Amino acid sequence: MNTEQIKKDFPLLENESITYLDSGATTQKPIQVIKAVEEFYQKYNANPHRGAYSLSVEATEQYENTRTKIAKFINAKHREEIIFSKNATESLNLIAYSYGLDNLKKDDEVVISIMEHHSNLVPWQKITKQTGSKLNYMYINENYEITDEEIESKITDKTKIVGITHVSNVLGTINNVKKIIKYAHKKGAIVIVDASQSIPHMKIDVQDLDADFLVFSGHKMLAPLGIGVLYGKREILNKMTPFLMGGDMIEYVYEQDTTFAPLPNKFEAGTQNVEGVIGLGAAIDYIENLGYDKIQEIEHEVISYARQELSKLDYLTLYTTPNEENHSSVISFNIKGVHPHDVASILDSEGVCVRSGNHCAQPLMRFLGIDSTCRASFYIYNTKDDVDKLVKALDKAYNMFKNYIK
């Protein structure tokens, strides 16, 4: 299957006036996912876990079958290690409050990278302040990569938690999370991997990585908005207290006390985003039918071409590692002397959709000495023609502003 055939599966992309280069924010949805959600509402709509009648039983089976599918998809050892959430942000907050708050003590250390999305940074600011522990950062070098020396100097015997993005949502840098996990475990720390920007593009094996926690959002991998996943090792999750309280996560409730349901239910309070779960299952089917080898083949061709063509534009500053093997699907850039929002607006007038702003990574922006960037992010439905349209639109933007650039 080639890219043009794949593109036909995405209804929104039938609009040829749209060049969609913002998949790092959210991917477009294939018709197979859209139909799976429609079918759920048309044939199986009921509240899982709450009815003895056959319709509710069927809804429960579909919901739980997706949990099993995800466990196999990331090679989790136990299906109950898969917890459904709204998104990666909620998953990371769950870990911070249910694990971090109960396990960090005064003078302990949490280590994260300067590349982290705010969702894997701000919770740790609050938790470390509450517990009297310390928040430290691993910084990047001139190639936008974390060196082995930086890892080994920042992760110490005082480190109890390490949080690391697998792929930077700003730089596209692929971090060697397996190496970081191995070193952190040697020092006695647990590791949280944010796979939001990696799992759409590459195979994840949590047992091979030996990750203690791993999170991702469904909407960045073809699934509907509002569904996320938290993976955690069973022995750790069993010791954690629930993050939210309410229906379906309890065992017994008395007037003055409550006992909680076993995994995974104790972390899934209230009615869940069932249609989102069903859609995520369909998205995983789509990815597996296409295969990660094919995904990487498509993306490598387009991203290599994008790196090549954008590097020819001497008015651009690129924020991308020169090591292509360590680079994923995101390219951030600025037209020198022009605000990224202005650039994005001109691109939009040409039908080219890119993100502009700080990308929920303000500390990284300050480290780089900038306020914001434009960001083009690619996926399986993008082609070299999309890159050409981006370059043409950038030329237009530059020509509009070049007489005003100091």
- At residue 26, the 3 state secondary structure works out as coil
Residue 236 banded pLDDT, cuts 50, 70, 90: very high
- Residue 1, pLDDT > 90, answer no
Distance, CA of 83 to CA of 267 (rounded, Å): 7
CATH value at residue 375: 3.90.1150.10
pLDDT tens digit string along 252-283? 999 999 999 999 999 999 999 999 999 999 99
Q: What is the side-by-side order of every strand in the sheet holding 159-165? A: 82-85, 228-232, 213-217, 190-194, 159-165, 109-113, 134-138
Enclosing domain of residue 154:
33-288
The pLDDT, as a whole number, for residue 405 is 83
Total domains in the chain come to: 2
Tell me how many degrees the CA angle 62-63-67 measures, rounded to the nearest 5.
110
Residue 220's pLDDT is 98
* Lookup: tokens for 312: 């020819």
pLDDT for res 50: 82
Q: What does the mean pLDDT of the chain come to?
A: 97
Tokens linked to 67:
């949990």
pLDDT in tens, 132-165: 999 999 999 999 999 999 999 999 999 999 999 9
Same domain, yes or no, for 329 and 215? Answer: no
pLDDT at 256: 96
User: Residue 51: its pLDDT value, please?
Assistant: 82
177-208 residue pLDDT tens: 999 999 999 999 999 999 999 999 999 999 99
Instruction: Decide: helix, strand or coil at residue 368.
Output: helix
Residue 403, pLDDT score: 87
- Dihedrals phi, psi of 134, to nearest 5 degrees: -120, 140
Partners of residue 82 on adjacent β-strands: 231
Residues with active-site annotation: 360
Same domain, 373 and 261: no
**What are 277-309's pLDDT values in tens digits?**
999 999 999 999 999 999 999 999 999 999 999
Query: Other C-beta atoms within 10 Å of 155: how many?
Result: 23
405 inside domain: no
| pLDDT score, position 364 | 98
Is residue 227 over pLDDT 90? Answer: yes
What would the mean pLDDT of 229-241 be, rounded to a whole number?
Answer: 98
28 located within any domain: no
Is residue 406 scored above 90 in pLDDT? no
Same structural domain for residues 296 and 274?
Answer: no
* Contact assessment for residue 226 and residue 204, using Cβ atoms and an 8 Å cutoff: no
Judgement on whether residues 10 and 69 belong to the same structural domain of the protein: no
Q: How many angstroms separate the first and last alpha carbons of the chain?
A: 48
101 with 119, same domain? yes
Can you tell me the distance from the alpha carbon of 285 to that of 14, in angstroms, rounded to the nearest whole number? 22
Phi, psi angle pair for 228, to nearest 5°: -135, 175
Mean pLDDT, rounded, for 79-101: 98
pLDDT of the residue at 293:
98
- Say what the pLDDT of residue 73 is: 98
Residue 406 lies in a domain: no
For residues 303 and 361, state if they share a domain.
yes
Percent of the chain residues topping a pLDDT of 70: 100
Task: Quote the pLDDT of residue 139.
Answer: 98
Task: Please tell me the predicted confidence (pLDDT) of residue 379.
Answer: 98
Query: Is the pLDDT at 246 greater than 90, yes or no?
Result: yes
What's the pLDDT score for residue 23? 98
pLDDT of residue 289: 98
| Residue 110 within any structural domain of the chain | yes
